[in-house]
Amino acid sequence: MTDDSIVKKRRVRYRGTHPRRFEEKYKELNPQLYSSEVDKVMERGQTPAGMHRPVLVKEVLESLDPKPGMVGLDATLGFGGHAQELLKLILPGGRLIGIDVDPLELPRTEARLRGLGFSEDVLVVKRMNFAGLPQILPEAGGAFDFVLADLGVSSMQLDNPSRGFSFKREAPLDLRLNPDKGQPASELLKSITEEELSGILISNADESHALAIAKAIKKSRRPVETTSQVTDIVSQALWHLPKQTRHEQAKKSLQRTFQALRIAVNDEFGVLEQFLRLLPGCLKEGGRAAILTFHSGEDNRVKRSFLEGYRSGTYSQIAREPVRSSAEERRANPRSTCAKLRWAVKR
């Protein structure tokens, strides 16, 4: 066979320099091959598609104080950014159990961490909700030296349009962290009343235009089944706002609406409260817990639980004020801006 007879196939490329479709951003979705592209995106203060940048990493490590030989839990494994740093500090001799409910992202994260050299001897990965914490205590020897929970939705979930987490892309209105369980947000909207929807928007997101948005959604002529429908309805419901502030207020209301529906679909507050009740019994004496929250509903629950635990003598120390991201981190990763970290030490 001559060289002339060999047909060289061109690498599939996305159209243009700024692809719109998530699947076409292949350079960012293959960071091992295109690390320079990932660096460029991060230098712009953005998160590369298909990746997640962990927030307050230094502060989390200081709060948990992991040491070689310790056994810990990452209760919301996500992309594994925090877990990767924790594992470095508990070796040799330590073990980390990482759990998550997301059946789509968990296998990818496990593969990535295994590729970094963390074997099953040091990293145990399980698909489960952190409300079932007692189920994994036997694997920790009865209790953990430290527990981390990052309550934020990962960038992979937000960026992937098929998950329906963002109003910025057309997709089915799903919003489930575990798409194999429960009902999508589109079904929830069909089954609740205008009054119930308004209550969800207020209690889950402090939405100031809850009544108008709930009324508009429930009065829709067609069943609300896509992210773009919600975007259109909310924008129309707030058309009465002053022109100079309408766009920005509508954008914030959209963010809060999606947040409120996601919390409701996944029963996030109920799951968090159960986790907080179980947490002290899963920590060793002197064991440490750190929880990252991203809105007031989560933070208030964590703050109240830690304070009650401190007053009852369950915790010997707690964070009196939340730890926030530095100005430098906020510039590098804007998604860290609303993060709050609270910690507690078991007596």
Each residue of 308-334: pLDDT tens digit? 999 999 999 999 999 999 999 999 988
Residue 98: CB atoms within 10 A of its CB come to: 26
**Could you give the CA distance from residue 101 to residue 149 in angstroms, rounded to a whole number?**
13
Residue closest to 75 by CA, chosen among 292, 300, 324 = 292
Q: Which structure tokens are listed for 276?
A: 């907080």
Dihedrals phi, psi of 344, to nearest 5 degrees: -150, 155
> CA–CA separation, 96 vs 77, rounded Å?
11
> What pLDDT score does 47 carry?
45
Helices (H) and strands (E) counted in the chain, each on its own, are: 14, 8
Q: What is the pLDDT of residue 153?
A: 78
Which token pair is 110?
Answer: 């496990």
- The predicted model gives 113-122 an average pLDDT of 96
Average pLDDT over residues 175-203: 94
Bridge partners of residue 341, in order along the sequence:
292, 323
Q: Does residue 178 contact residue 103 with C-beta atoms inside 8 Å?
A: yes
State the SS3 of 226-256.
EHHHHHHHHHHHCCCCCHHHHHHHHHHHHHH
pLDDT at 167: 78
Give the angle 326-327-330 at the CA atoms, nearest 5°: 90
Model pLDDT for residues 194-213, shown as the tens digit of each residue: 999 999 999 999 999 999 99
Q: What angle do CA 126, 266, 219 make, to 5 degrees?
A: 155
* 118 pLDDT above the threshold of 70: yes
pLDDT at site 230: 96
Q: What is the mean pLDDT of the chain?
A: 87
Residue 158 scores a pLDDT above 70: no
Band of pLDDT at residue 53, cut at 50, 70 and 90 = confident
> How far is Cα 209 from Cα 27, in angstroms, rounded to an integer?
40
Is a pLDDT exceeding 50 seen at residue 288? Answer: yes
pLDDT of residue 335: 84
Predicted TM-score (pTM) of this structure: 0.82
